[in-house]
Amino acid sequence: MKAMDKTIKPTLADLLNRPLSIGGKKIANRLWLAPLAGLGHVAYRKVLESYGGCGLTFTEMCSAKGVPTEKPSVSTMFSWREEELDHLVCQIFGATPEEMAPAARRIENEGFFGVDINMGCSVSGIVKRNAGAALLKDPDAALAAVKSVRQAVSIPVFVKFRTGWTPDIGPAVELAQQFEAEGVDCLVFHPRVAPDKRTKPPILDHIKAITEAVSIPVFGNGDVVTPENCLKMLETTGCAGVSVGRMAIARPWLFAEWTAGYTPTETCFRDYAFQLADALDQHFNEVHALKRYKLFTIYFAANFTFGHSLQSKFLGAKSMDDVRDVIQKYVKTDMRLTKRPNMNIYSI
């Protein structure tokens, strides 16, 4: 057998399927699901897993204050399937060590792969509680939160964060180095300023700056829609891997596509719409299931040239039976697809 020609440029699958260890734990590949509020719930993750290809999944943002006493049997966020725990990270948001440490201990005791500290969410309700991206305004508070979690658990600790509240990457670089010094195992970095609601493109050079500043793995995040976007992020920044958010909701099979050459079927969108409805019914009551399904349709409808019309049909549904009627009547195999999502819908 001839040795592989080292001049051959690696493919996207080659780059994503490289072995990786975080905090001494092995992970299947370098393409992960980003934490997504209202979207990355247990029902969605069940459907996602049926396609395969996702190296690591994350829960929705869970309140650190609530996690120690939360009941998974009734919680809409702090819930999971036992079979996913070995590749599931629980993301928490909070403001103080007194909130974060007990939550982290509960997460470790439940058997999660790791715990992720959210320092990226800039939604006003989170920021007003001095949590999420608000911690980037107060590096001492951010480091205190990280230190308390690291001291509380032995499982891998992740931090998801942004550039900060100004375009200057310097403070984020310094903070990344301090996170590493405090024992964080992996960083997931979204290269936008905190107030930016995705109105401007992510700055890939900022991912590169963070990657070069630390020795721990850095995963890039932000507007990864096509395999070309993913490859560009990996090649131009040197990041360890890629974390995909909204596009994972639009097309959950992309993980299997990009890592293993999976080819979507002719009925993939229709099948996905039905599968998610069934999974939501299994894990949530009617009210919560319908609410989450309608949120999902923002990203699902963005796949199609005339997605606005389809989404309006879903938004008119009064029950999950109505949802299934919409799928049956309006989600067809001959619908015109867009290579990139309809941004007028997708950016909501």
* Catalytic residue numbers, as ranges: 121
Secondary structure (H, E, C), 279-339: HHHHHCCHHHHHHHHHHHHHHHHCCECCHHHHHHHHHCCCCHHHHHHHHHHHCCCCCCECC
Contact criterion met (CB below 8 Å) for 176 and 210: yes
The C-alpha atoms of residue 255 and residue 56 are separated, in whole angstroms, by 11
Which residues are CB-contacts of 16 (< 8 A; sequence separation ≥ 6)?
A: 29, 30, 31, 230, 234, 241, 242, 258, 259
Residue-by-residue DSSP string for 66-80: TGGG--TTT-SSS--
How many residues belong to the chain? Answer: 348
Contact criterion met (CB below 8 Å) for 283 and 41: yes
Contact criterion met (CB below 8 Å) for 304 and 252: no
Which token pair is 271?
Answer: 């099948």
Residue-by-residue DSSP string for 211-246: HHH-SS-EEEES---SHHHHHHHHHHH--SEEEE-H
3-state secondary structure of 13: helix
Which residues are CB-contacts of 8 (< 8 A; sequence separation ≥ 6)?
A: none
Which helix (DSSP H) or strand (DSSP E) does residue 38 occupy? Answer: none
Of 16, 37, 161, 29, whose CA–CA distance to 87 is shortest? 29
